[in-house]
Protein backbone atom coordinates (compact mmCIF):
# COMPACT_ATOMS: atom_id res chain seq x y z
CA UNK A 1 0.00 0.00 0.00
CA UNK A 2 1.20 3.41 -0.83
CA UNK A 3 1.15 6.38 1.35
CA UNK A 4 -1.46 8.13 -0.76
CA UNK A 5 -3.80 5.23 -0.58
CA UNK A 6 -3.20 5.07 3.18
CA UNK A 7 -4.04 8.74 3.58
CA UNK A 8 -7.09 8.36 1.44
CA UNK A 9 -8.20 5.58 3.65
CA UNK A 10 -7.27 7.51 6.76
CA UNK A 11 -9.13 10.57 5.49
CA UNK A 12 -12.09 8.45 4.69
CA UNK A 13 -11.95 6.77 8.08
CA UNK A 14 -11.58 10.16 9.75
CA UNK A 15 -14.60 11.48 7.85
CA UNK A 16 -16.62 8.43 8.75
CA UNK A 17 -15.49 8.80 12.36
CA UNK A 18 -16.67 12.44 12.34
CA UNK A 19 -20.00 11.36 10.83
CA UNK A 20 -20.46 8.72 13.51
CA UNK A 21 -19.56 11.26 16.22
CA UNK A 22 -22.00 13.77 14.74
CA UNK A 23 -24.72 11.13 14.49
CA UNK A 24 -24.06 10.08 18.08
CA UNK A 25 -24.18 13.70 19.24
CA UNK A 26 -27.48 14.17 17.39
CA UNK A 27 -28.76 10.90 18.84
CA UNK A 28 -27.73 12.01 22.34
CA UNK A 29 -29.51 15.33 21.85
CA UNK A 30 -32.56 13.49 20.51
CA UNK A 31 -32.42 11.01 23.45
CA UNK A 32 -32.18 13.91 25.93
CA UNK A 33 -35.24 15.59 24.40
CA UNK A 34 -37.11 12.24 24.39
CA UNK A 35 -36.10 11.64 28.03
CA UNK A 36 -37.38 15.12 28.97
CA UNK A 37 -40.67 14.53 27.16
CA UNK A 38 -41.02 11.09 28.79
CA UNK A 39 -40.70 12.69 32.26
CA UNK A 40 -43.24 15.36 31.32
CA UNK A 41 -45.68 12.72 30.06
CA UNK A 42 -45.18 10.60 33.19
CA UNK A 43 -46.00 13.60 35.39
CA UNK A 44 -49.09 14.43 33.33
CA UNK A 45 -50.29 10.81 33.41
CA UNK A 46 -49.68 10.62 37.14
CA UNK A 47 -51.82 13.70 37.67
CA UNK A 48 -54.53 12.57 35.25
CA UNK A 49 -54.85 9.05 36.66
CA UNK A 50 -54.38 9.82 40.35
CA UNK A 51 -57.45 8.83 42.36
CA UNK A 52 -59.30 11.86 43.59
CA UNK A 53 -59.54 12.16 47.30
CA UNK A 54 -63.05 13.11 48.20
CA UNK A 55 -63.35 14.55 51.59
CA UNK A 56 -66.43 13.21 53.29
CA UNK A 57 -68.36 15.83 55.13
CA UNK A 58 -70.66 14.66 57.83
CA UNK A 59 -74.07 16.13 57.15
CA UNK A 60 -76.49 16.08 60.01
CA UNK A 61 -79.70 14.37 58.94
CA UNK A 62 -82.81 16.50 58.76
CA UNK A 63 -84.65 16.09 62.04
CA UNK A 64 -88.37 16.03 62.53
CA UNK A 65 -89.21 16.67 66.15
CA UNK A 66 -92.90 15.90 65.90
CA UNK A 67 -95.17 15.70 62.94
CA UNK A 68 -96.68 13.71 60.11
CA UNK A 69 -95.54 12.67 56.65
CA UNK A 70 -98.91 12.39 54.89
CA UNK A 71 -98.59 11.11 51.32
CA UNK A 72 -95.23 12.89 50.91
CA UNK A 73 -96.32 16.13 52.59
CA UNK A 74 -94.39 16.76 55.83
CA UNK A 75 -96.25 18.68 58.50
CA UNK A 76 -94.52 19.61 61.74
CA UNK A 77 -96.81 19.75 64.75
CA UNK A 78 -96.31 20.44 68.40
CA UNK A 79 -99.15 18.52 70.08
CA UNK A 80 -99.82 14.82 69.88
CA UNK A 81 -103.56 15.36 69.60
CA UNK A 82 -102.96 17.71 66.64
CA UNK A 83 -101.09 14.87 64.91
CA UNK A 84 -103.95 12.47 65.66
CA UNK A 85 -106.64 14.83 64.37
CA UNK A 86 -104.63 15.84 61.30
CA UNK A 87 -104.28 12.21 60.20
CA UNK A 88 -107.96 11.43 60.83
CA UNK A 89 -109.11 14.54 58.97
CA UNK A 90 -106.74 13.82 56.11
CA UNK A 91 -107.97 10.25 55.78
CA UNK A 92 -111.60 11.32 55.91
CA UNK A 93 -111.03 13.92 53.20
CA UNK A 94 -109.01 11.59 50.98
CA UNK A 95 -111.19 8.47 51.35
CA UNK A 96 -114.70 9.64 52.36
CA UNK A 97 -116.31 6.35 51.36
CA UNK A 98 -114.31 4.58 54.08
CA UNK A 99 -115.31 6.79 57.02
CA UNK A 100 -117.62 4.19 58.57
CA UNK A 101 -115.06 1.37 58.21
CA UNK A 102 -112.35 3.54 59.81
CA UNK A 103 -114.66 4.36 62.74
CA UNK A 104 -115.60 0.70 63.17
CA UNK A 105 -111.98 -0.46 63.06
CA UNK A 106 -110.96 2.13 65.65
CA UNK A 107 -113.87 1.31 67.97
CA UNK A 108 -112.76 -2.36 67.97
CA UNK A 109 -109.63 -1.17 69.80
CA UNK A 110 -111.63 0.36 72.65
CA UNK A 111 -113.43 -1.06 75.64
CA UNK A 112 -116.43 1.11 76.44
CA UNK A 113 -116.14 3.98 73.99
CA UNK A 114 -115.90 4.83 70.35
CA UNK A 115 -113.03 6.98 69.20
CA UNK A 116 -114.84 8.35 66.15
CA UNK A 117 -118.63 8.54 65.83
CA UNK A 118 -121.42 10.34 64.00
CA UNK A 119 -122.91 11.45 67.31
CA UNK A 120 -120.86 13.10 70.09
CA UNK A 121 -122.78 11.29 72.81
CA UNK A 122 -121.78 7.91 71.32
CA UNK A 123 -118.13 8.79 71.90
CA UNK A 124 -118.57 8.62 75.69
CA UNK A 125 -121.58 6.67 76.86
CA UNK A 126 -122.96 7.89 80.18
CA UNK A 127 -120.87 11.09 80.39
CA UNK A 128 -122.48 14.52 80.86
CA UNK A 129 -122.87 16.74 77.79
CA UNK A 130 -120.35 19.36 79.01
CA UNK A 131 -117.70 16.71 79.54
CA UNK A 132 -118.39 15.22 76.11
CA UNK A 133 -118.04 18.63 74.42
CA UNK A 134 -114.80 19.38 76.29
CA UNK A 135 -113.19 16.09 75.15
CA UNK A 136 -114.33 15.88 71.52
CA UNK A 137 -114.07 17.83 68.28
CA UNK A 138 -115.86 17.76 64.97
CA UNK A 139 -113.75 15.98 62.37
CA UNK A 140 -115.89 16.54 59.30
CA UNK A 141 -119.52 16.78 58.26
CA UNK A 142 -121.18 15.39 61.38
CA UNK A 143 -118.33 13.08 62.45
CA UNK A 144 -116.73 13.62 65.85
CA UNK A 145 -113.48 12.46 67.43
CA UNK A 146 -112.44 11.72 70.98
CA UNK A 147 -109.62 14.04 72.15
CA UNK A 148 -109.21 12.49 75.61
CA UNK A 149 -106.46 10.10 74.49
CA UNK A 150 -103.00 9.15 75.66
CA UNK A 151 -100.10 9.02 73.23
CA UNK A 152 -100.03 5.24 73.61
CA UNK A 153 -103.70 5.01 72.59
CA UNK A 154 -103.10 7.28 69.56
CA UNK A 155 -100.17 5.05 68.54
CA UNK A 156 -102.57 2.11 68.46
CA UNK A 157 -105.50 3.86 66.79
CA UNK A 158 -103.82 5.70 63.92
CA UNK A 159 -102.31 2.64 62.20
CA UNK A 160 -105.71 0.94 62.48
CA UNK A 161 -107.43 3.93 60.85
CA UNK A 162 -104.82 4.13 58.08
CA UNK A 163 -105.15 0.44 57.24
CA UNK A 164 -108.97 0.67 57.35
CA UNK A 165 -108.70 3.50 54.80
CA UNK A 166 -106.81 1.12 52.52
CA UNK A 167 -103.48 2.90 52.92
CA UNK A 168 -100.10 1.69 54.20
CA UNK A 169 -98.90 2.77 57.62
CA UNK A 170 -95.27 3.89 57.41
CA UNK A 171 -95.48 4.52 53.65
CA UNK A 172 -98.59 6.60 52.94
CA UNK A 173 -98.75 7.95 56.48
CA UNK A 174 -95.78 8.16 58.82
CA UNK A 175 -96.01 9.76 62.25
CA UNK A 176 -93.04 11.17 64.16
CA UNK A 177 -93.88 11.01 67.84
CA UNK A 178 -90.39 12.00 68.98
CA UNK A 179 -87.33 13.60 67.35
CA UNK A 180 -86.42 11.39 64.39
CA UNK A 181 -83.91 11.82 61.58
CA UNK A 182 -85.71 12.04 58.27
CA UNK A 183 -84.07 9.87 55.62
What sign results for the dihedral spanned by CA atoms 147, 149, 155, 161?
negative
pTM for the whole structure: 0.66
Query: How confident is the model over 93-128, as pLDDT tens digits?
Result: 999 999 999 999 998 887 777 899 998 888 888 889
Give 81's contacts (C-beta < 8 A, 6+ positions apart). 147, 149, 154
H-helix segments, the chain: 3-49, 80-94, 99-107, 120-123, 129-134, 151-164
Query: How confident is the model over 65-101, as pLDDT tens digits?
Result: 899 999 989 999 989 999 999 999 999 999 999 999 9
Give 86's contacts (C-beta < 8 A, 6+ positions apart). 68, 70, 75, 77
Amino acid sequence: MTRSSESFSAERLLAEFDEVNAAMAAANTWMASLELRRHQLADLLDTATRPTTTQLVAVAPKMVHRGVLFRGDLRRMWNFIDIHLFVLRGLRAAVPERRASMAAAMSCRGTARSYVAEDRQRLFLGKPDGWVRRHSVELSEGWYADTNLSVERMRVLLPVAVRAAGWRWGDDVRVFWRPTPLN
